[in-house]
Structure 1
Amino acid sequence: MKLLHTSDWHIGRTFHTHSTLAHLRTVLDALADAVREQGVDVVLVAGDVFDLSMPSADAMTLLSDVFRSIRDAGAQIVVTSGNHDSITRLGFHAEWIRHAGIHVLTQHHSLDEPVPLTDEHGPVHVYGIPYLEPSLLRHSYLDVDLRTHEQALAFAMQRINADRAQRGGRSVVLSHCFTADVAASDGVERDITSGGLDLVPTSVFDGPDYVALGHIHGRAQLSERVRYSGAPLHYSFSETDKLRGGWLVELDADGLADVTWLDLPVPRRLVQLTGELETLLADAAHAECESHWVKAVLTDQVRPMDAMRRLQQRFPHCVALEYRPSVVAEAIAASYGDRVKEKTDAQIVGEFLAYVRNGVGPSEYERGLVHELLIEQDLREVPA
């Protein structure tokens, strides 16, 4: 049996206020093509199908279209919910659409009820663990200590492993969580709790032949059989260098046989350009970036006026701007009053300009202008 492990589609998410629906459609259409070309039997989506708990009509339409394309390509679909999903909305009509080969697993009470699949080697049981928030779960299991995500996932896997032992055969688990073996990074969907990140040890997932994880937006291999696939699109500039795609997982008669990476297209690449504004606007080396999403980091000593408008004239998809001067004035411990004591008015103006412009004092033109203004002020103050 061949499975394609994906996660974190985040249908409906925006990128710096821009809709990502068209780009995501392109990627997921390519995914359906890959299902056909690679002979994939099952597509796994390990949580965060939608970006919002109340997805728009356009987001719902995209999901329906993609599910149809994947089914037409010959694969069944197994989905579980993430922290961004509404289990009610994502799971609506789950009972009926499973007859069409689309299995949506969002309920904690059915953790040990797998999707039964078969191939020439026998049964494969696919279990889905929806995102389990301990504070919402514990009231249903009063005799179980469920204060942390580790306890919630351990409880889920205990039920799953007990069911696996009875059924026999091979097994796959989907889960949306943050494991202790993945270092915190800017691309991580964080679960902030009192005391920091609520981590789950990878050992919690001992047992199944393959564990398909979601929650972080970059691929990661925690062991041969436990992996994150990451998101199909880049959703922040911190993800620029992370590959987009999914894991192709092959099961044979004995369990996990092979895992390979499948690249998916990147409709619009991300790039960060650093330099002075005039250089970024004129440098021919940046020509290929004119069709990319662009984040500009300006290093000018004096903050340029109207920088974003000028950048967008060359880079239409410039969506982020940061001012980071290459030289920063050294911090001075003395108070402003002490620094200007016994200085002339012209020197005070010069000190102020250097302070607000990161060490760049007045130009010759500005010195002349200040001199003229001060003379004019002195003349006005002379008694008639």
Structure 2
Amino acid sequence: MKILHTSDWHIGRTFHQHSTAEALRAVLDRLIDSVAALQVDVVVVAGDVFDSSTPSAEAVEELDRVLLGLSEAGATVIVTSGNHDSPARLGAKAVFAAKSGIHVITRPEAHVEPTTLEDEYGPVHFYGIPYLEPALIRHRWPEIKLSNQADAIGFALENIRGDLAQRDGDRSVVLAHTFVSGAEGESCESERGITVGGVDRVPVPAFDGITYAALGHIHGRNTLAPHVRYSGAPLHLSFSEQGKPRGAWIVELDADGLASVEWLDLPVPRGLATITGNLAELLTDQALDAHEGEWVRAVITDVSRPLDPMRKLQARFPHCAMLSFEPSEVHESTVPTAARMATLSDSEILEDFLVEVRNGEGPSVEELVLADAVMSQIRAKGISA
């Protein structure tokens, strides 16, 4: 049996306030094409198919389009909800979708209701664990300690092992949307935290006895054990993901269980680049030509903050989406004390202020003349400066 493992589509997400809809559509279309070309039997999507618990009508239509496309490509599709998804909204059409071979698992109790598929070697049991928020599920199992994610996932996996032991065949695939210990190195700033101080991290041995664990939540590809893996997101969703590959895992099962796992690269519609230097260099350096079509994060190193840098950068880099100011020289702070402030003239206070906020650069002659004129008008009206 050939399985494609993907997750974290985040349909409806923006990248620094820019739509990702067109780019994601292109990547998911390639995913559909790959399913057909590779003759994939099952596609598993481990949570966060939407970016919001209240997806737009366009986002819902896109999910429907992709799921139907995967089904028409010849695959059975199994989807679980993640921490970004609304279980009620994602699962609203689950009964009808199942008729088309699309299984959407959002109810907490459904983690022990496997989708069982057959190949030439017998049954394979697919268990979907929807995102389990302990505070929202404790009332369902009041006799069980469910303090954190580790408790909730551990409880679900024990139930799954118990259910599996009663079924024909021992080959199993578990979908889970959670943070597993060891994935820290691939964690990215675009992920919504579901752990506190590490206590929620699920240990890798919790997946013992499972043929393959298809994980979601971490946006970077990660292999925690041969049978425990994150596929990562199909798009780069933050600049912290720069350089990380994008794709899916192709998993093959044989009569004995896990036969092979190979990486399938997916296209990156627009790369990420971080450029650093003073504004004049960034606007003229020919070595940066290759980044003109990429998402750009610019780090400006001018000693003084330039005027309107984003507009100037976007004239060369149309997709410059993030700007930070990190001066190459940092002026020592000279914020005056209250006692010294009382001895300063208005123009001296202005000069001290501008030196502070401009990293050492004081007012120009024109600014001093303008400030003096304003102060003169204020004094003429009898208002204390």
Matched, 1:359 2:349: no
User: What is the CA distance between 1:331 and its match in structure 2?
Assistant: 4.4
The 3-state SS of whatever aligns with 2:260 is strand
Change (3 A) 1:258 1:346: same
User: What is the CA distance between 1:41 and its match in structure 2?
Assistant: 0.9
The 3-state SS of whatever aligns with 1:291 is coil
Matched, 1:78 2:78: yes
Which structure 2 residues correspond to residues 150-189 of structure 1 after superposition, within 5 A? Answer: 150-167=150-167, 168-183=169-184, 185-189=188-192
| 2:9 equivalent in structure 1 | 9
What is the distance in 2 between the residues matched to 1:121 and 1:321?
56
Matched, 1:224 2:226: yes
The 3-state SS of whatever aligns with 1:117 is strand
| 1:50 equivalent in structure 2 | 50
Q: TM-score, normalised by structure 1?
A: 0.89
What is the distance in 1 between the residues matched to 2:333 and 2:10?
44
C-alpha deviations, 1:121-158, integer Å up to 9, x for none?
A: 11111000000011110101121111211111111011
Structure 2 residue corresponding to 1:191, chosen from 194, 202, 207: 194
User: What is the CA distance between 1:93 and its match in structure 2?
Assistant: 2.2
Contact map agreement 1:340 1:348 (CA 8 A) in 2: no
Contact map agreement 1:122 1:169 (CA 8 A) in 2: no
User: What is the CA distance between 1:356 and its match in structure 2?
Assistant: 3.0
| 2:25 equivalent in structure 1 | 25
What is the distance in 1 between the residues matched to 2:252 and 2:117?
14
Change (3 A) 1:2 1:355: same
The one-letter code of the counterpart of 2:235 is: L
Contact map agreement 2:77 2:101 (CA 8 A) in 1: yes
What is the distance in 2 between the residues matched to 1:31 and 1:37?
10
Q: Aligned Cα RMSD in Å?
A: 2.7
User: What is the CA distance between 1:58 and its match in structure 2?
Assistant: 0.8
What is the distance in 2 between the residues matched to 1:281 and 1:345?
38
Contact map agreement 1:277 1:307 (CA 8 A) in 2: yes
The one-letter code of the counterpart of 1:176 is: H
| 1:69 equivalent in structure 2 | 69
What is the distance in 1 between the residues matched to 2:76 and 2:11?
20
What is the distance in 2 between the residues matched to 1:59 and 1:111?
26
Contact map agreement 2:220 2:230 (CA 8 A) in 1: yes
Change (3 A) 1:4 1:60: same
| 2:246 equivalent in structure 1 | 244
The one-letter code of the counterpart of 2:82 is: G
Contact map agreement 1:189 1:217 (CA 8 A) in 2: no
Change (3 A) 1:146 1:344: closer
Contact map agreement 2:117 2:125 (CA 8 A) in 1: yes
Unaligned runs of 5+ in 2: 376-385
The 3-state SS of whatever aligns with 1:100 is coil
| 2:89 equivalent in structure 1 | 89
Moved more, 292-301 or 330-339: 330-339
The 3-state SS of whatever aligns with 1:71 is helix
What is the distance in 2 between the residues matched to 1:355 and 1:145?
55
User: What is the CA distance between 1:11 and its match in structure 2?
Assistant: 0.5
Report the identity percentage: 53
Matched, 1:311 2:313: yes
Which structure 2 residues correspond to residues 104-119 of structure 1 after superposition, within 5 A? Answer: 104-119=104-119
C-alpha deviations, 1:20-49, integer Å up to 9, x for none?
A: 111111000000111112221111100001
User: What is the CA distance between 1:338 and its match in structure 2?
Assistant: 5.5
C-alpha deviations, 1:255-292, integer Å up to 9, x for none?
A: 00111111101111111111111111111111221111
What is the distance in 1 between the residues matched to 2:154 and 2:38?
34
Contact map agreement 2:4 2:43 (CA 8 A) in 1: yes
The 3-state SS of whatever aligns with 2:292 is helix
What is the distance in 2 between the residues matched to 1:142 and 1:275?
58
